[in-house]
Every structure is written in structure tokens, then in C-alpha cells.
Amino acid sequence: MQNQQLTISSGNIIRCFLVFIVLLFVSLGLYGYNYTNAYLSDKKSALNTIVKSLQKRVDIYRYVTEQVYERFGNTPMPQEGPAVMETRLRPDVYYVDKPYIKTDAVIFGNHDANTLTMMANISDYLDNRWAPIPKTTRCTT
């Protein structure tokens, strides 16, 4: 009868430890890969969310700008806009002072009364477009 028991020798023990160490490094590498992949996919989804919201905001601004240009672009302004005054800030730079202060308007360069009326109408349109504030007059004290 032969002895079928596993012989424990130093060579077998070293081989088992080497296999264990190799498996340990492989599992450590897979854990690092999985962790890095999860981190990068999280950052990717965050960037995609930011990009989508930024693209939506740009599309809204383009739409509003197109509406402003279509409404006030090349048409003459027969109606009188809100009561506005211009304040000269520097040579050829004017601040449009109007009674409702939700949006501001600055005109660069020489202009005429039509430009001032158009700026007042655009500013009034944007006041109504972006969360209008109560129609109160500005304090001028």
C-alpha cells in the first residue's frame, strides 16, 4: 500500500505562497482598475450633465437673442418706449437710465433717438422676459 498523502516540503510551500501572492496582486490590480473606472465614469457623467445644462442654456440664449433681433432688428420704432435718459460715461459710451432697473443697457458709439428707443424697448422686453420685478420707480436721491 502506497502512501497517498501530500508531502509537505519547502518547495511546495514556496509555490503555494507564490501563487497566493500572484493572485493577491491580480485581485489588487482588478480592484484598482474597477475603482478607477468607477471614478472616471462618475466624473464623465458629471461632465455630461454640466455640458447638457450649458448647451440648454446656450440654446435658450440663442432663442431669446433671435427673438430680440426679429422683434427689434431692422424695423422702425414708431411707438415711444418707456421714459429713458442717457448718461454719458465716457466719450462715445452712454448708459441708458430707465425707471425699471432689472436690466441695464449701454450704448457704444454715436447714436440717434431711434437707437435709444430701440435699446429701451429691448431692455423692457428683457425685463418682462426674465422674472419681472414690480413696476416701481427708481429712487433718484
pLDDT category of residue 133 using cuts at 50, 70 and 90: low
Examine the domain organization and report whether 65 and 33 are in the same domain: yes
Structural domain boundaries enclosing 112: 85-129
Give the pLDDT confidence score for residue 14 in this predicted structure: 93
Examine the domain organization and report whether 24 and 69 are in the same domain: yes
Does residue 3 have a pLDDT over 70?
Answer: no
Examine the domain organization and report whether 61 and 91 are in the same domain: no
Examine the domain organization and report whether 18 and 69 are in the same domain: yes
Q: What is the DSSP letter of 137?
A: P
Q: Read off the pLDDT of residues 41-94 as tens digits, 9 standing for 90 and up.
A: 999 999 999 999 999 999 998 888 888 778 776 665 555 555 778 888 888 888
Examine the domain organization and report whether 71 and 93 are in the same domain: no
Q: Which of 57, 75, 93 is the last residue of a domain?
A: 75
Examine the domain organization and report whether 26 and 62 are in the same domain: yes
pLDDT category of residue 116 using cuts at 50, 70 and 90: confident
Examine the domain organization and report whether 32 and 63 are in the same domain: yes
Examine the domain organization and report whether 25 and 70 are in the same domain: yes
Give the pLDDT confidence score for residue 87 in this predicted structure: 85
Give the pLDDT confidence score for residue 131 in this predicted structure: 58
Examine the domain organization and report whether 69 and 89 are in the same domain: no
Does residue 115 have a pLDDT over 60?
Answer: yes
From the list 100, 88, 90, the residue with the least C-alpha distance to 128 is 100
Number of structural domains, the chain? 2
**∠ CA 111-71-94, rounded to 5°:** 25
Residue 108: how many CB atoms within 10 A of its CB? 10
Q: Which of 32, 54, 75 is the last residue of a domain?
A: 75
Does the predicted TM-score (pTM) go above 0.85?
A: no
Residues contacting 21, CB < 8 A, separation 6+: none
Q: What percent of the chain has pLDDT over 70?
A: 79
From the list 107, 72, 103, the residue with the least C-alpha distance to 86 is 107
Give the pLDDT confidence score for residue 126 in this predicted structure: 77
